[in-house]
Amino acid sequence: MHGNRASETGVSQAGEDQSGLPLPRRYWAIAALCLSTAAIVLDGAIAAIALPTITRDLGINPSSAVHVVTIYQLVSVVSLIPMAALGDRLGHRSVYRFGLVLLTISVLLCFFVGGLIPLLALRFAQAVGASLALSVSSALLRSVYPSRLLGRGLALNTIMVSVFSSLAPTLGGAILAHARWPMVFASAAPFALAALLCSRALPDPVRRPGRFDAGAALLYGLVMTMLFGAIDGNVGLPGPLRVALLFGAIPLGIVLVRRERRVERPVIPVDLLGRPLLALSALGSLLCFAASMCVMVMLPFRLDSLYGMSAPQI
């Protein structure tokens, strides 16, 4: 009996060790995921340091310049979860690579921007590209690493997020000391291009059967946009309209939750939020992110206008 158990354990461990990509292909795939994480984090976090410079260069007021950050946040919130469902249907590697291509092109096009509207359009495209790549990164991680090393892969990804979130303001200030503000956005391009080159090593795309529920994705986007408009004061909406948006989003959210609970493969994983531990963890992460972004957006203007600091000093 003990011999049978030992043999079963050995077979299980052998199967576990054989999961994931073989070496050295796995190392190239890990490099792709790390580099794309660096590009996405830089693109999202580095913009705030350039806002005072963009304000002066484009001749706009600070409240308008803040939209450079808020439109990126809004598009990310609206598109990230539906993009993950889209990746299941089209294949994770295909969605990942298309997102990197879109991100690279849109950050490089910032060199040709002459006004706020074109810049906001490019930030919209950057957020879509980042969401496409980021939404399938966790699924790709599970395919790249053996099961016994998955925790190490998640830890490495978290380290990359922390390092480049901390590095973004310093790098942005250093760039602004020697170049114009479009170079701040272009700083993500080398990482994205390198990730794109390494992405050939990622697992072959596997498509799950079934259609993408575009209706649920649009309803989710509508609910998130209404909540964002109601909560974010930088949007500039009058108070009564913001209250109407808030109370209008509540019944639509209830309709969305009920709709997603009835389908076998929902676009929005509402069943996961029914678990208290996971729901509280998600809420804590959301509040921490919101607080950090408030500081990151407000502080450059504060240091620039009140203390007269230059971009490198900020």
> Which residue carries 């919130």 as its tokens?
77
Q: How confident is the model at residue 214 (pLDDT cuts 50, 70, 90)?
A: confident
Tell me the per-residue pLDDT of 55-102, one tens digit each, with 9 for 90 and over: 988 888 888 888 898 899 889 989 988 998 888 888 999 999 999 999
**Number of residues that this document lists for the chain:** 314
Q: What share of the chain is helix, strand, coil (3-state, %, to 5)?
A: 80, 0, 20
Report the C-alpha gap between 304 and 48 in whole angstroms.
12
User: What tokens does 227 get?
Assistant: 């909540």
What is residue 230's predicted lDDT score, i.e. its pLDDT? 79
Report the C-alpha gap between 140 and 121 in whole angstroms.
29
Tell me the per-residue pLDDT of 250-301, one tens digit each, with 9 for 90 and over: 899 889 888 888 887 888 877 777 777 777 777 777 677 666 766 666 667 6
User: What tokens does 59 get?
Assistant: 């001749």
User: Strands, DSSP E only, in 130-196?
Assistant: none
What is residue 242's predicted lDDT score, i.e. its pLDDT? 81
What is residue 313's predicted lDDT score, i.e. its pLDDT? 62
Report the C-alpha gap between 65 and 256 in whole angstroms.
33
pLDDT of 248 higher than 60: yes
pLDDT of 5 higher than 70: no
Closest C-alpha among 108, 104, 124 to residue 116: 124
Q: How far is CA 46 from the centre of its chain?
A: 14
Q: What is the mean pLDDT of residues 192-218?
A: 87
What is residue 276's predicted lDDT score, i.e. its pLDDT? 78
DSSP 8-class letter at 265: S
- All structural domains of the chain, each given as residue ranges with its CATH number in brackets, are 25-209 (1.20.1250.20)
Q: What is the dihedral of CA 202, 205, 211, 216, to 10 degrees?
A: 0
Kindly report the average pLDDT of the chain as a whole number: 84
What is residue 294's predicted lDDT score, i.e. its pLDDT? 66
What is residue 200's predicted lDDT score, i.e. its pLDDT? 92
What is residue 10's predicted lDDT score, i.e. its pLDDT? 41
> Which residue carries 């660096």 as its tokens?
38
Please tell me the pTM assigned to this model.
0.83
Q: What is the mean pLDDT of residues 135-163?
A: 92
pLDDT of 109 higher than 70: yes
The Cα angle at residue 19 between residues 14 and 20, in degrees rounded to 5: 145
Report the C-alpha gap between 217 and 34 in whole angstroms.
28
User: What tokens does 253 get?
Assistant: 């959210």
Q: How confident is the model at residue 13 (pLDDT cuts 50, 70, 90)?
A: very low
> Which residue carries 């203007």 as its tokens?
301
